[in-house]
Amino acid sequence: MPQIPVKIHELTVGQLSARSGAAVSALHFYEAKGLISSRRTSGNQRRYTRDALRRVAFVRAAQRVGIPLATIRDALAGLPEERTPTREDWARLSENWRAELDARIQQLGRLRDHLTDCIGCGCLSLETCVLSNPDDVIGEQISGSRLMGEKKRG
Ligand code: FES
């Protein structure tokens, strides 16, 4: 990644892209989602402060571990004066996300364990296919209805 001289305080979108490794389209997307911000020059070109580099690194690191953009945006918005996250911020926030990641890993493990039932099947049944209905929502609704019916009858 190309270094940006310290005397440069603002970056073009191309410089931010080259330095962060994020595609220009991704940077525009992050900006549209409120994850980074820029000012516009008189020629309507974007200019980012240097700390946008750290914000982009934060966003990309969080995305790599599967944190949804809305969660990342909330985390950034929750920092005092929406400052750029520090090392301590990342440590604290990533610790908070651990439970969410653990739950997702467990769910993926369950999906993996049941994938063999789906190979060559293609039914994608909401009642029997774990890939179609990984949380077994219908099954829970059915058993809940049955339970309620049983209570009324019983
Ligand atoms: S596709 Fe048939 S069980 Fe999943």
pLDDT in tens, 46-86: 999 999 999 999 999 999 888 889 999 999 988 888 788 89
Which residue in the block uniquely carries the two structure tokens 């049944």?
Answer: 125
Contact predicate 58/76, CB 8 Å: yes
Q: Residue range 134-151: average pLDDT?
A: 51
Task: Report how far ligand 1's centroid is from the alpha carbon of 65 (Å).
Answer: 28
Residue 113's alpha-carbon distances to 109, 132, 136, in angstroms, are 6, 14, 15
Give the model's pLDDT for residue 141.
52
Residue spans of the domains in the chain: they are 1-85
Percent of the chain topping pLDDT 70: 83
Give the model's pLDDT for residue 10. Answer: 92
Give me the mean pLDDT over the 114-133 stretch.
83
Burial class (CB in 10 A: 0-12, 13-18, 19+), 29: middle
Q: What are the residues facing 10 on neighbouring strands?
A: 49
Residue scoring higher pLDDT (28 or 90): 28
What lines the ligand 1 site, CB under 6 Å?
A: 117-118, 121-125, 128-129, 131
Name the β-bridge partners of 47.
39
46-49: strand order across its sheet: 10-11, 46-49, 39-40
Does the domain made of 1-85 have the CATH classification 1.10.1660.10?
yes
- For 77-88, the DSSP string reads HTSGGGPPP-HH
CA 78 – ligand 1 centroid, Å: 42
**Average pLDDT for 92-115:** 85
For the CA of 118, the nearest atom of ligand 1: 4
Q: DSSP code of 47?
A: E
Q: Is pLDDT of 144 > 70?
A: no
pTM for this one?
0.68
What is the C-alpha to C-alpha distance for residues 67 and 62, in angstroms, rounded to an integer?
5
The pLDDT score that the predictor gives to residue 139 is 52
**Atom 3 of ligand 1 has which residue's CA nearest to it?**
129
E strand or H helix that includes residue 106: helix 87-118
List C-alpha distances in Å: 65 to 8, 83, 97: 32, 22, 9
Q: Taking the CB of residue 116, how many other CB atoms lie within 10 A of it?
A: 9
Pocket test for ligand 1, best of 110, 113, 118, 119 (most atoms within 8 A of CB): 118
